[in-house]
Structure 1
């Protein structure tokens, strides 16, 4: 992978760096939240993170700002943000452990298989529809949990199950894609 000198300062990449900087800020604000206003601020930070994620992709595609570096750091920023959200929610609600473990298993498996395919000079160019839907559902459900600190345990379970179902669908979709790519290689 060739990274050009100017790629570091392209707007989509700057937005990805910004998203990474939001991770500790979000985590701190959420974990120290006491009032509903504190939780709204944490949710606002998470919303800004999601907005910059959508914006960096839009700018990269529509203004010829896509780079090899961006193809690396954008998904890293996404996964680190998702991991941080799952961890802080697990700290507040231990039942989130099941979703956290599913997320770790899914992402580690995808990373490992992507690495094996990379060694065979095969890569996936961008996220697939099932991965995008899984991410949208993840952020939507986690946003609800962040902004509603007094949500009932029954509703927490429903949101975790819904998120888990879409994470499993994405996982199966990527495993099927990887298997077919590996067979072709």
Structure 2
């Protein structure tokens, strides 16, 4: 009974942290683009990344994983990532590739996720490779926000490594999707 209540809960510590991350997005953009205070923008981005880790840990540790959180957490992540990548494209044109890849990945995962939820009536959480991709992306974004004089070759190498990991994650997520479809083939849409 308690587990069911937690699953359907809306106001939980992890969900509050996810909303906090959403509220940080315009603050980070303001400090990056508006006043060009890259240190403050970088610190806010680090705080956003840390609260992402904390909300996941709290959700699992205190059994406060909710269906709302399973949706809200990745939405906060992706909106943060897209907003910061959009800002970074101003100074680092190679970020356009990462930005485009992230849009394609998230669009495909949203479509496949909708199909899976419709078939099995459950929201699945992030996988290890998705977490690795997120960690790499946050790291690359933080490095580029804070290290304004990053050598072009290192910048390119970091972005390419992130593209490879993100693509790998997308392939594994799509594989999971097709496996789920195979297992639930007899379930009507």
User: What TM-score do the two structures reach when normalised by structure 2?
Assistant: 0.88
Superposed CA deviations along residues 128-171 of structure 1, whole A, max 9, x for unmatched, are 11111111111111110111112222222111101101101101
Matched, 1:74 2:73: yes
Q: 1:30 aligns with which of 19, 29, 32?
A: 32
In structure 2, what is the Cα distance between the partners aligned to 1:164 and 1:122? Answer: 32
* Corresponding residue of 1:13: 15
Q: Is the 8 A contact 1:7 1:13 kept in 2?
A: no
* Corresponding residue of 1:141: 140
* Corresponding residue of 1:109: 108
Q: Which runs of 5+ in 1 are unaligned?
A: none
1:9 aligns to what SS in structure 2? Answer: coil
In structure 1, what is the Cα distance between the partners aligned to 2:64 and 2:5? Answer: 13
In structure 2, what is the Cα distance between the partners aligned to 1:27 and 1:63? Answer: 33
1:125 deviation in Å? 2.3
1:184 deviation in Å? 1.2
Q: Which runs of 5+ in 2 are unaligned?
A: 185-189
2:149 aligns to what SS in structure 1? Answer: coil
Q: Which stretch shifts more, 115-124 or 24-33?
A: 115-124
1:77 deviation in Å? 0.6
In structure 1, what is the Cα distance between the partners aligned to 2:127 and 2:106? Answer: 14
* Corresponding residue of 2:153: 154
In structure 1, what is the Cα distance between the partners aligned to 2:114 and 2:136? Answer: 26
